């Protein structure tokens, strides 16, 4: 995250507090009866945004950028009695969605005594309602300890998920109609951008609603999040798929194993999987431009590898090679995201054509494990991470934080304003040791030219 922090000032990391806006009297946290004072965190406790020595220099304002530390506060903004909370999961599935929902509900219900908790179905679509009858298109679910008791044993989201356009005014109208005081939005960069608009709309209307984002991205492409839930689980599945592709390729004459792995804009999952296993030959990611033809192009390197080794395995991020489709008209999904072209199918066909044009037999196996990765239940490490992520989201909301996301930096949970999250996407830094390790594993060139 070094490059992303360069030139960032402290103001961008200032977290909004409902205490300051509405001048409410502090209330003692219900947790005071359960835990000792040493576990409570002050707003003055902070985590440096960048810990590298070359960037530990004061900015022009004389302040080093830092995040507010997440955790329970001694004083809370909301009274637990009659408090209403809502949870929504948006975008594609990821391992751990149910774990996060379970953690949020359990912490609200058991630790803070909040008994009115709703689950909003099918992402932001669940806020749609008739302005006259007040009927919602999809009934909201009532959540409690019993309803979430064993959902961590299931993949997917019990709330349902989905991609759709979002109208902040409609969402805030729905929140007011349901008397919601806290909204937890679980999703990726598009979801969090939507959460920021909801926060701005509620602020515009001077409504004391806490909007808390929880980052969900297997691609790990959200700013200020060094680790995302579900990543470890998805990584294990990606490695398993690559090992299967290796077995297929080794067993065939001129065998090629091609595996397409999730990663629209960020190749972290693909690169991490590639660096984690032995005998991989190529790893293709969005951050490195892909050129197929020419003396230094990918196809010539692939032919040379086959002639030398007899088989090869390729890890392909789904967002790689999109410049190869520059002549095609772009298409967009319901959330407004640009749809990716099918680089896997395209590359498969080009490899076969190229081999045949050079009088080489080609036995190619194309594996796409994406939906298997998304729908898995979590490994133990991810389960714990989800639990702590959900708990810190609840602590933030109850203390009156709003317009922020629970981030994770330097192995510490943080509060990050949504406006800072929406600045840009995060990409794999090809100058980092991880990419060097991936290159070392494959022996491929740094760039295709």
The answer to whether residue 286 is domain-embedded is yes
β-pairing, 210-215 with 182-187? parallel
Residues 317 and 336 in one domain: yes
Residues 326 and 405 in one domain: no
The answer to whether residue 447 is domain-embedded is no
What percentage of the chain carries pLDDT values higher than 90? 83
Domain extent for 90: 2-228+376-421
pLDDT mean over 227-254 = 95
Most confident of 218-222, 388-392, 439-443: 388-392
- Kindly report, residue by residue over 366-420, the tens digit of the pLDDT: 999 988 888 899 999 999 999 999 999 999 999 999 999 999 999 999 999 999 9
Residues 354 and 385 in one domain: no
- Kindly report, residue by residue over 168-179, the tens digit of the pLDDT: 999 999 999 999
Residues 183 and 292 in one domain: no
The answer to whether residue 448 is domain-embedded is no
- Kindly report, residue by residue over 88-99, the tens digit of the pLDDT: 999 999 999 999
The answer to whether residue 426 is domain-embedded is no
- What CATH code is carried by the domain that includes residue 310? 3.40.50.460
Residue 151 clears pLDDT 70, i.e. is over it? yes
Residue 61 clears pLDDT 60, i.e. is over it? no
The answer to whether residue 449 is domain-embedded is no
The candidate with the shortest Cα–Cα distance to 272, out of 324, 321, 237, is 237
- 443 alpha-carbon distance from chain centroid: 30
The answer to whether residue 110 is domain-embedded is yes
Residues 188 and 202 in one domain: yes
Residues 277 and 387 in one domain: no
Confirm whether 189 is a catalytic residue: no
Counting the structural domains of the chain, the total is: 2
DSSP state of 329: P
Q: Do 431 and 274 contact (CB within 8 A), yes or no? A: no
Q: Can you give the length of the chain in residues?
A: 449
Residue 6 has what pLDDT?
44
Q: Do 40 and 74 contact (CB within 8 A), yes or no? A: yes
The candidate with the shortest Cα–Cα distance to 322, out of 308, 341, 306, 338, is 341
Q: Which of 50, 152, 189, 219 is catalytic?
A: 219
Residues 342 and 395 in one domain: no
Task: Report which of residues 9 and 432 the model is more confident about.
Answer: 432
**CA–CA separation, 125 and 123 (whole Å):** 5
Residue 5 clears pLDDT 50, i.e. is over it? no
Residues 280 and 392 in one domain: no
The answer to whether residue 210 is domain-embedded is yes
- What CATH code is carried by the domain that includes residue 197? 3.40.50.450
**CA–CA separation, 370 and 283 (whole Å):** 16
- Kindly report, residue by residue over 327-377, the tens digit of the pLDDT: 778 888 776 678 899 999 999 999 999 999 999 999 999 999 988 888 899
Residues 322 and 385 in one domain: no
- Kindly report, residue by residue over 114-129, the tens digit of the pLDDT: 999 999 999 999 999 9
- 348 alpha-carbon distance from chain centroid: 28
Residues 147 and 6 in one domain: yes
pLDDT mean over 153-178 = 95
Residue 4 has what pLDDT?
47
Q: Longest Cα pair distance anywhere in the chain, in angstroms? A: 80
- pLDDT grade for 253, boundaries at 50, 70 and 90: very high
Residues 170 and 281 in one domain: no
CA dihedral 345, 287, 290, 301 (to 10 degrees): -100
SS3 325: helix
Average confidence score pLDDT of the chain: 93
Helix (H) or strand (E) holding 43: none
Q: Is the pTM of this model over 0.85?
A: yes
Residues 195 and 305 in one domain: no
Residue 55 clears pLDDT 70, i.e. is over it? no
């Amino acid at each position: 995250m070094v490059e992303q922090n360069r030139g960032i000032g402290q103001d961008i990391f200032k977290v909004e507090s409902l205490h300051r806006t509405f001048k409410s009297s502090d209330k003692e946290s219900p947790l005071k009866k359960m835990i000792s004072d040493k576990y409570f965190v002050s707003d003055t406790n902070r985590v440096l945004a960048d810990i590298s020595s070359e960037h530990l220099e004061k900015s022009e304002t004389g302040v080093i950028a830092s995040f507010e530390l997440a955790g329970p506060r001694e004083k809370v903004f909301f009274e637990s009695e009659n408090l209403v909370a809502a949870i929504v999961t948006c975008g594609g599935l990821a391992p751990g969605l149910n774990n996060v929902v379970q953690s949020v509900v359990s912490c609200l219900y058991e630790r803070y005594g909040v008994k009115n908790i709703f689950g909003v179905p099918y992402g932001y679509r669940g806020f749609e309602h008739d302005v006259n009858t007040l009927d919602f298109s999809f009934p909201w679910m009532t959540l409690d300890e019993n309803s979430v008791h064993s959902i961590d044993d299931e993949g997917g989201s019990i709330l349902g998920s989905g991609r759709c356009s979002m109208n902040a005014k409609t969402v805030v109208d729905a929140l007011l109609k349901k008397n919601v005081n806290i909204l937890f939005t679980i999703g990726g960069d598009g979801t969090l951008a939507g959460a920021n608009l909801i926060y701005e709309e509620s602020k515009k209307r001077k409504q004391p609603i806490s909007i808390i984002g929880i980052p969900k991205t297997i691609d790990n492409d959200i700013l200020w999040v060094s680790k995302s839930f579900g990543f470890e689980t998805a990584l294990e599945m990606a490695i398993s798929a690559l090992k299967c592709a290796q077995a297929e390729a080794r067993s065939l004459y001129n065998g090629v194993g091609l595996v397409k792995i999730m990663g629209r804009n960020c190749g972290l999952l693909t690169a991490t999987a590639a660096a984690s296993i032995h005998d991989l030959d190529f790893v293709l990611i969005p951050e490195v431009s892909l050129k197929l033809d020419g003396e230094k192009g990918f196809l010539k390197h692939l032919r040379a590898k086959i002639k030398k080794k007899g088989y090869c395995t390729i890890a392909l991020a789904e967002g790689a090679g999109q410049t190869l489709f520059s002549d095609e008209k772009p298409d967009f999904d319901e959330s407004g995201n640009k749809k990716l072209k099918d680089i896997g199918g395209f590359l498969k066909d080009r490899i076969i054509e190229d081999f045949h044009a050079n009088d080489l037999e080609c036995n190619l196996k194309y594996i796409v494990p994406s939906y298997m990765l998304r729908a898995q239940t979590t490994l133990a490490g991810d389960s714990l991470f989800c639990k702590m992520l959900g708990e810190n989201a609840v602590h933030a909301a109850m203390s009156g934080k709003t317009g922020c996301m629970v981030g994770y930096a330097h192995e510490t949970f943080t509060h990050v304003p949504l406006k800072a999250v929406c600045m840009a996407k995060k990409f794999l830094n090809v100058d980092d040791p991880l990419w060097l390790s991936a290159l070392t594993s494959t022996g491929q060139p740094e760039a295709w030219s």
